[in-house]
Amino acid sequence: MLKSQDLSSRILSFSLRLAGIFAAQENCFQYLQQGELLPTLFGEAGPLGGAAWTAPTVRSGWVQGLRTLARHPSALRFLAACGAVDTIFSLQGDSSLFVASAAGQLLVHVLDLAMRGPAEGRRGPRARDWPACAQKIVCHIEDSLCSAATPQVTQALNVLTTVFGHCRGLWTQGLWVRLSPLVARLLEKDPVPASHSLVDLLLSVARSSVLSSDRGLWETLAQTLSHLSPTQAGPLALGILKLQDCPQALRTQAFGILLQPLACVLEAAAQAPGTPGLLEGAAGDSMTVDTLLSSKSACVGLLCCALAHLGLLQPLPQRPSPWPQVPLLGAVVTILRLCSGSAAPTSDVGGRLCAILVGCGRVQRAALDFLGALSQGTGPQELVTQVFSILLEYLMSPESSSMVLKKAFQATLRWLLSSSKTPGCCDLDPHTQQFLRELLPVLQKRLCSPCWEVRDSGLEFLTQMTRQWGGRTGFRQALLASEVPELTRQLLRDPESYVRASAVTATGQLSGWGLRATPASPERPGAQQESLLGELLHILSTDSEGFPRRAAMQVCTEWLRDGRADVAEDPERFVAGVLQAASRDLDWEVRAQGLELALVFLEQLLGQRGSRCPYSVGLPETAPPGVLAQALQVLCRVQLFEFAFRALFDCDRPVAQKSCDLLLFLRAKAASCGSLQEAGDSPSVASVEATLQRWQAGEQGQPLGYLEPGAIVAVLRSVDLEGLRDTLAESSDHVEKSPQSLLQDVLAAVGVLGENEADCY
């Protein structure tokens, strides 16, 4: 085939990879070697250098073929003999990012393979004992590290990062000893080349168990921290602080880097000199100040990174201790004030920062996220008051964009919840109560916003808050005194489906806690609720979008589960109505949620399912025969079986699986009660089975009709539910994964890869 002139690049690429797979076995490799096939494919006689080589897919196939092939010493010798290593070096700079990346990984793989043999078990063999192949690769890396061209340095650093990240051999120690001076020399250049890759490498080395005890490494890290610009040093500092064990001095230095931008902001905005800052004596670091003031993008970039890094660090157990919660809170509040224009700094730096940051949505979002994260800690009451007041300012400001508002709502929720955690106190403290009084009018206004994203975040906030505080008197009183419940109710008819969905969830949550829009009239206590239920059913059956219907289904399920009074009055009617709406729904999530509701109903009728833990041995709980018969009657009346059997053959697998589980549960319950009269041979059973078969074949037009409980039990026994469950448990492409179609699969994959010839992320 290889001799064919017009061989397509995809076939060639496939051949290269296939040969690699075969040659991964040493005996197979020998066999192929005898036929001189491998040099023809991978050597200079092959596609290398030919016209086919211009296709990225061929180069990719070549690299991947070698990657699979290189598993035994014979392969190493082959690589050396055919000069493949040099080609891999050149492919590191390939125009296709996929090829370049794969070439880098192949290099690491080859190095690891070469070193594993001789160095296994021994502590770092001397350099001259290293195999020739490894020597060659290391020399290449050394040359690249010394190169003046940044791409070369980046390639070398990336290869080393992979080496230290994936190879656990002791030889890596020797490699680091040999290369670390070259790495350190990079720091002497200004600007430091390939700083991102350098940071990745150093962190990879530091995380490597083989090397983390190296003292020189900590020195290099410290040096790097001080050489890199504040923006470049941020990720390294965060990485260092995440390390399990590293010297305290280095941790302090790294933390200082992260705090630096915030310290500068704090100092620049301080009204009076001598205000306690974040960092003793280092607040005025000129490099950070220069970066902050150099341009808007630099300032925004640095602050956002610092805030994001600190936000990631905050919840970690290994975060620096003591954690400067108070100055951090102060700094983030200051940043938010600078962004909103409400800060009035007196210093020059402060004035310029204000001009840069005012109205900057990116910094506002990052700062609000971090402020939310800081809610896990505490602060002096004065500062907490400031936090709430800046949050309120953002929530009120017409200038806040919808994304900023969303973040502000999230941060507010976190602070509200954390502030009410006071042990032993079941109601809200006066500060929170006061804040709520100011917050609710704002929420009211936001629920009327012409921007749907704002209405949506407002509703989400309300839902979350009600979920947590629905039982607290203070919250209930404040909420009921406002128009929020009524507005929420009105948003059920919002033109935007996401808002309708959020309104459904929020209304469900509010009504769950008895927080109705207006007090129901004494004559008809359930009137309000009834109409809400009607509204939900209306949404379920008529809403053109899936999201509100899914939300409505969830609310119905929750109501049934919680046994809410009005639902409990006539659960049969309720379930029948909901299932009827769900059965016609085109959205599979609504149908799946309908099955969830059916299951809840079943459990209420027949008792809980056994333990959900798959490893526990649960004895099926038996229901008294009378109860079962009655329950089956009810289930027949609400047409649960029709719904469940239809779902069993649903084209969406999760729905079918859920239905299968439900029916299995029911069968188990029925089995435990043998006295139920079965109607195994009655004509109705036969017709049901016939209908089910048609349904399975895709003809779902015919209804099941009314069923007798006896017929149900018979049908349940006759259908191979276990078999069906197993089939459904298979992945959706199990047919394609059968051995017969393996080759087709591979070819299909090649086809797909061929389409991805252009680089894309």
Near other proteins by CB under 8 A, which window of 23-31, 306-314, 482-490, 565-573? 482-490
* Residue 495 C-beta: closest distance to other proteins, Å: 5
How far apart CA 471 and CA 510 sit, in angstroms, is 11
Q: Which is nearer to other proteins, 141 or 447 (by Cβ)? A: 447
Q: Are 307 and 366 in contact (CB under 8 A)?
A: yes
Paired tokens of 415: 């602070």
The label of the residue with tokens 């086809």 reads 751
* Binding to other proteins, residues 312-351 (CB under 8 A): 341, 343-346, 350-351
* Binding to other proteins, residues 696-715 (CB under 8 A): none
* Binding to other proteins, residues 430-459 (CB under 8 A): 444-446, 448-451, 454
Q: Which is nearer to other proteins, 82 or 405 (by Cβ)? A: 405
* Residue 402 C-beta: closest distance to other proteins, Å: 9
* Residue 445 C-beta: closest distance to other proteins, Å: 5
Alpha-helical regions (H) of 244-322: 248-269, 286-294, 296-313
Near other proteins by CB under 8 A, which window of 30-38, 74-82, 485-493, 609-617? 485-493
Question: Which DSSP letter does residue 145 get?
Answer: H
* Residue 401 C-beta: closest distance to other proteins, Å: 8
Name the nearest CA neighbour of 577 among 540, 606, 546. 540
Paired tokens of 462: 């309300």
**Mapped to the 3 state alphabet, what secondary structure does 323-345 carry?**
CCHHHHHHHHHHHHHHHHCCCCC
Q: Which is nearer to other proteins, 136 or 365 (by Cβ)? A: 365
* Residue 236 C-beta: closest distance to other proteins, Å: 33
* Residue 358 C-beta: closest distance to other proteins, Å: 6
* Residue 451 C-beta: closest distance to other proteins, Å: 6
How far apart CA 386 and CA 367 sit, in angstroms, is 14
How far apart CA 95 and CA 77 sit, in angstroms, is 28
The label of the residue with tokens 């900023």 reads 404
| CA within 13 Å, CB half, 481 | 13
Indicate whether 545 belongs to the interface with other proteins (CB under 8 A).
no
Paired tokens of 727: 């089939």
Orientation of helix 215-227 relative to helix 230-242, angle to 10°: 150
Near other proteins by CB under 8 A, which window of 177-185, 356-364, 532-540, 623-631? 356-364
* Residue 399 C-beta: closest distance to other proteins, Å: 5
The label of the residue with tokens 């168990």 reads 209
580: left (phi over 0), alpha (psi -120 to 50) or beta: alpha
How far apart CA 220 and CA 47 sit, in angstroms, is 44
* Residue 446 C-beta: closest distance to other proteins, Å: 7
Q: Are 656 and 650 in contact (CB under 8 A)?
A: yes
How far apart CA 470 and CA 515 sit, in angstroms, is 8
Q: Which is nearer to other proteins, 346 or 693 (by Cβ)? A: 346
How far apart CA 463 and CA 467 sit, in angstroms, is 6
x-or-dash pattern for other proteins, window 644-663, by CB under 8 A?
--------------------
- Of positions 8, 229, 385, 397, contacts other proteins by CB under 8 A: 397
Side chain identity at residue 344, one-letter code:
A
Q: Which is nearer to other proteins, 107 or 499 (by Cβ)? A: 499
Name the nearest CA neighbour of 224 among 312, 290, 157. 157
Q: Are 311 and 373 in contact (CB under 8 A)?
A: yes
Q: Which is nearer to other proteins, 398 or 683 (by Cβ)? A: 398
Q: Which is nearer to other proteins, 398 or 739 (by Cβ)? A: 398
Q: Which is nearer to other proteins, 106 or 487 (by Cβ)? A: 487
Q: Which is nearer to other proteins, 453 or 661 (by Cβ)? A: 453
* Residue 498 C-beta: closest distance to other proteins, Å: 13
* Residue 712 C-beta: closest distance to other proteins, Å: 47
Near other proteins by CB under 8 A, which window of 72-80, 124-132, 353-361, 689-697? 353-361
Q: Which is nearer to other proteins, 423 or 450 (by Cβ)? A: 450
Q: Are 438 and 394 in contact (CB under 8 A)?
A: no
Near other proteins by CB under 8 A, which window of 16-24, 391-399, 637-645, 753-761? 391-399
Report cis status (omega within 30 of 0) of the bond before 322. yes
Q: Are 367 and 332 in contact (CB under 8 A)?
A: yes
Counting residues that bind other proteins (by CB under 8 A) gives: 33
Q: Which is nearer to other proteins, 295 or 756 (by Cβ)? A: 295
* Residue 467 C-beta: closest distance to other proteins, Å: 25
DSSP letters of 341-405? T-----SHHHHHHHHHHTT-HHHHHHHHHHHHHHTTS---HHHHHHHHHHHHHHHH-TT--HHHH
* Binding to other proteins, residues 491-510 (CB under 8 A): 493-496
Query: What is the maximum span of the chain, computed from C-alpha positions, in angstroms?
Result: 97
Q: Which is nearer to other proteins, 336 or 590 (by Cβ)? A: 336
* Binding to other proteins, residues 668-697 (CB under 8 A): none
Q: Are 404 and 351 in contact (CB under 8 A)?
A: no
How far apart CA 498 and CA 501 sit, in angstroms, is 5
Q: Which is nearer to other proteins, 75 or 357 (by Cβ)? A: 357
**By CB neighbour count within 10 A (0-12 exposed, 13-18 middle, 19+ buried), where does 579 fall?**
buried
* Residue 397 C-beta: closest distance to other proteins, Å: 8
* Residue 385 C-beta: closest distance to other proteins, Å: 23
Q: Which is nearer to other proteins, 140 or 489 (by Cβ)? A: 489
Indicate whether 487 belongs to the interface with other proteins (CB under 8 A).
yes
Sign of CA dihedral 390, 395, 399, 402: positive
* Binding to other proteins, residues 234-273 (CB under 8 A): none
**By CB neighbour count within 10 A (0-12 exposed, 13-18 middle, 19+ buried), where does 69 fall?**
buried
* Residue 71 C-beta: closest distance to other proteins, Å: 60
* Residue 542 C-beta: closest distance to other proteins, Å: 17
Paired tokens of 440: 């609710």
Q: Which is nearer to other proteins, 206 or 292 (by Cβ)? A: 292
Give the angle subtended at the CA of 580 by the CAs of 576 and 585, to the nearest 5°: 150
Q: Which is nearer to other proteins, 178 or 516 (by Cβ)? A: 516
* Binding to other proteins, residues 358-387 (CB under 8 A): 358-359
How far apart CA 730 and CA 191 sit, in angstroms, is 55
Query: What is the helix, strand, coil percentage profile of the chain, to 5?
Result: 70, 0, 30
* Residue 359 C-beta: closest distance to other proteins, Å: 8
- Of positions 71, 178, 207, 352, contacts other proteins by CB under 8 A: 352
Q: Which is nearer to other proteins, 319 or 352 (by Cβ)? A: 352
* Residue 553 C-beta: closest distance to other proteins, Å: 24
**Mapped to the 3 state alphabet, what secondary structure does 576-609 carry?**
HHHHHHHHCCCCHHHHHHHHHHHHHHHHHHHCCC
* Binding to other proteins, residues 520-539 (CB under 8 A): none
Q: Which is nearer to other proteins, 365 or 646 (by Cβ)? A: 365
- Of positions 314, 400, 505, 639, contacts other proteins by CB under 8 A: 400
Indicate whether 490 belongs to the interface with other proteins (CB under 8 A).
yes
How far apart CA 140 and CA 359 sit, in angstroms, is 50
Residue ranges in contact with other proteins by CB under 8 A: 341, 343-346, 350-352, 354-356, 358-359, 397-400, 444-446, 448-451, 454, 483, 486-487, 490, 493-496
